[in-house]
Amino acid sequence: MSGVAGATHETEWCPRVAITHDGLGVRMDPEADADRVIIYTADGTAHKFDECVRGGYHYAENGYIDDGWYGHIERVEATRGSRTVIVENDMEMTLEVTCSLWRTPNEAPYDFRMRYENAHKMYDGPVGDEPVYGSPGRTIRSIKEMAHELEIDFDNRQDCDPDGDVAVTFDCTTVTVRPEEFVNGVEEIYRPTLTFADGTRQLLSEPDEMLEPPQTFAGTGEHEGKGIEHLNIWNDVTGSAMFTYTNPDIDSCDAGGSSSQGSKSVESSNASEPAEATEPSEPTATTPQTSTEPTPAPTAETSTASSTENGSTPSLTRTQTTFPTETSNRTPESNESLRRSGGGVIDGERSNERVAVDSDDLDWLLALAGISSFGGIAYLANRLGQS
Pick from 32-36, 135-139, 266-270 the range whose average pLDDT is largest: 135-139
Please report which confidence band the pLDDT of residue 13 belongs to, taking 50, 70 and 90 as the band edges. Answer: confident
Q: What span, in angstroms and rounded, lies between the C-alpha atoms of 273 and 380?
A: 57
Kindly state the average pLDDT of the residues 30-48.
93
Q: Are residues 122 and 213 in the same domain?
A: yes
The answer to the question of residue 385 being in a domain is: no
Q: Are residues 110 and 247 in the same domain?
A: yes
Q: Are residues 122 and 61 in the same domain?
A: no
Considering the chain, what is the average pLDDT of its residues? 73
pLDDT of residue 375: 44
Q: What span, in angstroms and rounded, lies between the C-alpha atoms of 167 and 136?
A: 7
The percent of residues above 70 in pLDDT, for the chain, comes to 63
Please report which confidence band the pLDDT of residue 108 belongs to, taking 50, 70 and 90 as the band edges. Answer: confident
Please report which confidence band the pLDDT of residue 198 belongs to, taking 50, 70 and 90 as the band edges. Answer: very high
For 68, the domain range is: 10-93+294-327
Q: Are residues 165 and 302 in the same domain?
A: no
Q: Are residues 78 and 188 in the same domain?
A: no
Give pairs for 299-305: CB < 8 Å, separation 24+. 299/324, 303/18, 303/87, 303/88, 303/90, 304/88, 304/90, 305/3, 305/17, 305/85, 305/86, 305/87, 305/88
Q: What span, in angstroms and rounded, lies between the C-alpha atoms of 341 and 288?
A: 6
* DSSP 8-state class, residue 82: T
Radius of gyration over alpha carbons of the chain, in Å?
A: 26
Q: How many domains does the chain have?
A: 2
Q: What span, in angstroms and rounded, lies between the C-alpha atoms of 33 and 46?
A: 20
The answer to the question of residue 195 being in a domain is: yes
The answer to the question of residue 52 being in a domain is: yes
- Which of 252, 281, 303 is the last residue in one of the domains? 252
H-run or E-run covering 12: none
Q: Are residues 215 and 169 in the same domain?
A: yes
* DSSP 8-state class, residue 50: S
pLDDT of residue 51: 80
Q: Judge contact between 119 and 144, C-beta under 8 A.
A: no
Q: What span, in angstroms and rounded, lies between the C-alpha atoms of 151 and 112?
A: 10
Q: Are residues 158 and 203 in the same domain?
A: yes
pTM of this prediction?
A: 0.65
Per-residue model confidence as pLDDT tens digits over 225-284? 999 999 999 999 999 999 999 999 999 986 566 664 433 333 443 333 444 444 444 433
The answer to the question of residue 69 being in a domain is: yes
- Which of 327, 351, 368 is the last residue in one of the domains? 327
Query: How does DSSP assign 124-193, residue by residue?
Result: SS--SS--EEE-TTS-EEEEEEGGGTEEEE-GGGTTSPPSS---EEE-SSEEEE-GGG-TTS---BEEEE
By CB neighbour count within 10 A (0-12 exposed, 13-18 middle, 19+ buried), where does 208 fall? exposed
Q: Judge contact between 83 and 10, C-beta under 8 A.
A: yes
pLDDT of residue 45: 96
pLDDT of residue 203: 98
Number of residues written out for the chain = 387
Q: Are residues 101 and 245 in the same domain?
A: yes
Q: Look at residues 357, 349, 363 and name the one whose alpha carbon lies nearest to residue 112.
A: 349
The answer to the question of residue 300 being in a domain is: yes
Annotate 83-101 with b (16+ C-beta within 10 A) or e (fewer): bbbbbebeeebebebbbbb
- Which of 194, 220, 252 is the last residue in one of the domains? 252
pLDDT of residue 104: 86
Q: Are residues 24 and 143 in the same domain?
A: no
Q: Are residues 102 and 243 in the same domain?
A: yes
Kindly state the average pLDDT of the residues 324-343.
42
The answer to the question of residue 149 being in a domain is: yes
Q: Are residues 134 and 89 in the same domain?
A: no
More confident: 373 or 135? 135
Residue 155 has pLDDT above 90, yes or no: no
Q: Are residues 241 and 197 in the same domain?
A: yes
The answer to the question of residue 276 being in a domain is: no
Kindly state the average pLDDT of the residues 329-348.
41
Kindly state the average pLDDT of the residues 372-384.
43
Per-residue model confidence as pLDDT tens digits over 60-107? 888 999 999 999 999 999 999 999 999 999 998 889 999 999 998 777
**21: alpha, beta or left? (left if phi > 0; alpha if psi -120 to 50):** alpha
pLDDT of residue 219: 97
Q: How many CB atoms lie within 10 A of CB 226?
A: 23
Is 376 strand, coil or helix? helix
The answer to the question of residue 321 being in a domain is: yes
Helical H segments across the chain, by residue range: 332-341, 359-386
